[in-house]
């Protein structure tokens, strides 16, 4: 059956797990032809085997040449880009080294830049495109012990807002979704770290992470994917330059 995104080619970076995988599944369900991109080939193959995407490509988003080559190798030009790949380093600011900032900017900011630059010429030529960056509430506010991550995510929102204005008359929209703490492997790792370093129980660690969410829970990946899918649709054509928080009212 045809869906609202039938005929559209989507690329989801960081698409092998967590929010990226949920986005891939949602776009596929909406009728898009979805390619997931990441570094773990076996995990990407699993997404395709589960019917949550149609194909995959392997590349590190911080490697501009590799990402461009992966996009060039796709059978169809990209109409919908979801720049989801990211990572976090948690350290006190005094122990956060230059390489930590470089790593966070490399994956969280330049990963978006590289992906956009790889697909944008085709979008503007065809007069249609949807670009959605998966940022974070860390792009809208500060959190302690993740200064490099917050700085990178704030930079992503600056990129989104500026690029949206630059492309406003081209048919290409540029937006961001900003999830709060979400039920993903990344957050599970953070919980493990809190338990290890503080001696708290896992329930206590989870309560600490969800304390800032007025709903008192982790966001579900499917909830983020639903917002992304809407932004990719025809009805969101007048929505651009926005940073939409999916965070239970935290922001």
> Domain limits of the chain?
9-180+220-246, 184-218
Which tokens sit at 227? 């917002």
pLDDT per residue over 119-171, tens digit each?
A: 999 999 999 999 999 999 999 999 999 999 999 999 999 999 999 999 999 99
Which tokens sit at 216? 């008192």
178 in Cβ contact with 139 (< 8 Å): yes
| DSSP H or E stretch at residue 131 | strand 129-134
Which tokens sit at 197? 């370093």
pLDDT at residue number 8:
98
d(CA 11, CA 55): 10
d(CA 107, CA 88): 9
pLDDT string in tens for the chain (251-residue length): 579 999 999 999 999 999 999 999 999 999 999 999 999 999 999 999 999 999 999 999 999 999 999 999 999 999 999 999 999 998 999 999 999 999 999 999 999 999 999 999 999 999 999 999 999 999 999 999 999 999 999 999 999 999 999 999 999 999 999 999 999 887 888 788 888 888 888 888 888 888 999 999 999 999 999 999 999 999 999 999 999 999 999 99
Beta bridge partners, 79, equal none
CB atoms within 10 A of CB 171: 14
Nearest-CA neighbor of 38 among 73, 8, 81, 70?
Answer: 70
d(CA 172, CA 131): 7
Kindly name the residue from 38, 59, 111, 149 that is annotated as catalytic: 149
pLDDT at residue number 1:
59
DSSP SS3 for 7: coil
Instruction: Report CA-CA distances (Å) from 78 to 54, 105, 198.
Output: 13, 24, 45
Which tokens sit at 247? 């965070």
CA 219, 138, 59, 100 torsion-angle sign? negative
107 in Cβ contact with 62 (< 8 Å): yes
**149 annotated active-site:** yes
Question: What is the CATH class of 9-180+220-246?
Answer: alpha beta
Pairing type for strands 55-58 and 33-38 reads parallel
d(CA 212, CA 226): 22
């Amino acid at each position: 059956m045809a869906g609202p995104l039938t005929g559209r080619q989507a690329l989801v970076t960081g698409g092998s797990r967590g929010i990226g995988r949920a986005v891939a599944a949602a776009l596929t369900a909406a009728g898009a032809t979805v390619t997931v991109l990441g570094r773990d080939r076996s995990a990407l193959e699993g997404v395709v085997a589960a019917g949550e995407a149609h194909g995959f490509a392997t590349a590190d988003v911080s490697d501009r040449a590799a990402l461009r080559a992966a996009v060039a190798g796709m059978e169809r030009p990209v109409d919908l880009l979801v720049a989801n790949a990211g990572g976090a380093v948690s350290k006190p600011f005094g122990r956060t080294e230059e390489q930590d900032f470089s790593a966070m900017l490399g994956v969280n900011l330049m990963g978006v830049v590289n992906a956009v630059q790889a697909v944008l010429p085709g979008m503007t030529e065809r007069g249609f495109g949807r670009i959605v960056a998966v940022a974070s509430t860390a792009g809208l506010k500060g959190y302690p012990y993740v200064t490099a991550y917050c700085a990178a995510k704030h930079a992503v929102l600056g990129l989104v807002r500026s690029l949206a204005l630059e492309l406003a008359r081209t048919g290409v929209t540029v937006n961001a979704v900003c999830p709060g703490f979400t039920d993903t492997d990344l957050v599970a790792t953070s919980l493990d770290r809190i338990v290890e370093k503080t001696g708290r129980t896992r329930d206590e660690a989870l309560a600490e992470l969800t304390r800032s969410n007025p709903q008192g829970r982790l966001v579900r990946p499917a909830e983020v994917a639903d917002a992304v899918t809407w932004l990719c649709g025809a009805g969101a054509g007048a929505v651009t330059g926005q940073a939409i928080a999916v965070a239970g009212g935290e922001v």
